[in-house]
Amino acid sequence: MPCAAQGVSSEARKYLAGALRETDGGKLSATLLALRSTKDKELAPLFEAMARSGDKNRRYFAVEALAELAGPEAAPALLERLKTDSEAAIRHKALLHLLDLKAVSPAELAEAMQARDEWLQSFAARGLVQNGKGDRATDALRKLVQSQEQAVAGMARMGLLATGDATQLPELRRIFDDPKTPDAVLGLLLEQAAEAKISPALELAEKVAASGREGPLRVQAYEAIAAIAPDGAARLREAIEKTDQTVVQVYLLNLLVARPAGQSHLETVAARKDAVGLLARFELARRKPSADSAAAVAEALAAGHPVAVEYVLNRAKADVADRPDQALLYGPALVAFLRSFPPESSNMGPEHNRLAVAATVLADIGTPEGMNAIKEVLAGRYGAAVRAVAAGLRWSKNPAVCELAKPLLASPYLELAEDAALTLGAFGDFRAADSLNAILVRRQAHAPTLVTLAAWYLLKIDHATATAVQDLVKNVR
């Protein structure tokens, strides 16, 4: 049922056009973040236009949004920012996204190295080294080692080391040995060493791994060790055994799972009687989906350890996206997980965030048992569990969630009704039109983020997003 006849679509366009002309930075940011959160590729032309805005903050945001929404198709716009933007931070971000997307040629990297911008030169040189064209960067790298910026000089030395210049090692050792060297700098160098698999940098990564530095940096060091060392899997297993920090152990396990030679070491970790052992058993079962795999999922979730639950949920999300047939093994355990939450609880906590993710995954899997379990929770007594599951439906990619959300449109609890309207609206379901229009009409009573989503989804319901984006582009300044 199109809503344009009631003037709703027109009002939605007017609201978004006005929001994009907003001079209040906070309100504009809320609008842009809301639009980006929809992940609608139809918005790419709007962000491409915004990448040419006269406002540097809008351009920076647009570069980020374009890379996320359009992927490789964003390359021409990102390349334009790289070559023409007046702001160094935007040029840097554009180049980093182009490198991540593998959408920049050696010739374009060589051109970027001619810029009078040391950071840009260092990122471009890093790209050339990664692409096996380090010989094109050698002269520039030798100049960059004189930079006053420690990170730039360090990356230049690491780049030269990657080309076989072992004379860079003594100075790199000094940088890694100095307790005053910021973690951020060491992180950049470790990332570079891992990406290019720079063998002489192994000893530098080992220094950090054995140091008293913060856990995330030491995990990054082990990531470099695993990438460089022939026995990387064994080293990860040894590191799991040496540390008593569960969070660090789980990060290391994640690295071990990704190693081709990690099977035997994973089996060793699986013998442990703690959370990481539980997850190792889950990973072994997951490799060959079977009834045992489903039992391993159930065991990991039933243990209730927050780190273990998040690990399994993250794996489930990835499997739903990459191997949906095998993702069926998560269904029974997720159903039990949903039903394990007491309906009478009224206080939202971190565990309810995990419940929302579980609801999203279960809806994406879409088995009748899973959908019925969600329906049962939503029909239960109002509380934190119902709120979490209703919120989780918003992020599902399965249009069947519209039938689960529809009854909540009439809920006396405002947040449930709003979540239901957004769930249906994201799929362009006309049954959400009245609720979304009510949000738009009473816009002063709602957060700009919610009003923006309501306006955009009203346009989806009216099949007017493409023409609306064309009009919105004209409001970019």
In sequence order, the 6+-apart residues with CB closer than 8 A to the CB of 26 are none
d(CA 81, CA 88): 10
Query: Which residue intervals of 51-117 are DSSP H helices?
Result: 56-70, 75-84, 88-100, 106-112
Instruction: Provide the mean pLDDT of the chain.
Output: 94
Residue 354 pLDDT:
96
pLDDT tens digits, one per residue of 15-32 = 999 999 888 888 899 999
Query: Which residue intervals of 243-341 are DSSP H helices?
Result: 246-257, 263-270, 275-287, 291-303, 306-322, 331-339
Residue 262 pLDDT:
87
Domain segments of the chain as ranges: 1-34+442-477, 234-287, 290-427
Using pLDDT thresholds of 50, 70 and 90, give the confidence band for residue 476: confident
pLDDT tens digits, one per residue of 183-192 = 999 999 999 9
* pLDDT tops 60 at residue 3: no
* pLDDT tops 60 at residue 320: yes
* pLDDT tops 70 at residue 200: yes
Residue 5 pLDDT:
39
* pLDDT tops 70 at residue 1: no
pLDDT tens digits, one per residue of 215-272 = 999 999 999 999 999 999 999 999 999 998 888 999 999 999 998 888 999 999 999 9
E strands along 131-201, which residues?
none
Per mean pLDDT, which range of 108-117, 290-299, 449-458 is the poorest? Answer: 290-299
Name the DSSP letter for residue 3: S
Cα separations in angstroms, 217 against 150, 213, 253, 259: 18, 7, 16, 20
* pLDDT tops 50 at residue 317: yes
Nearest to 189 by CA among 212, 210, 168, 215: 168
Residue 304 pLDDT:
83
Residue 2 pLDDT:
47
pLDDT tens digits, one per residue of 121-146 = 999 999 999 889 999 999 999 999 99
Using pLDDT thresholds of 50, 70 and 90, give the confidence band for residue 4: very low
| Average pLDDT rounded to a whole number, residues 328-349 | 90
Using pLDDT thresholds of 50, 70 and 90, give the confidence band for residue 352: very high
Residue 7 pLDDT:
64
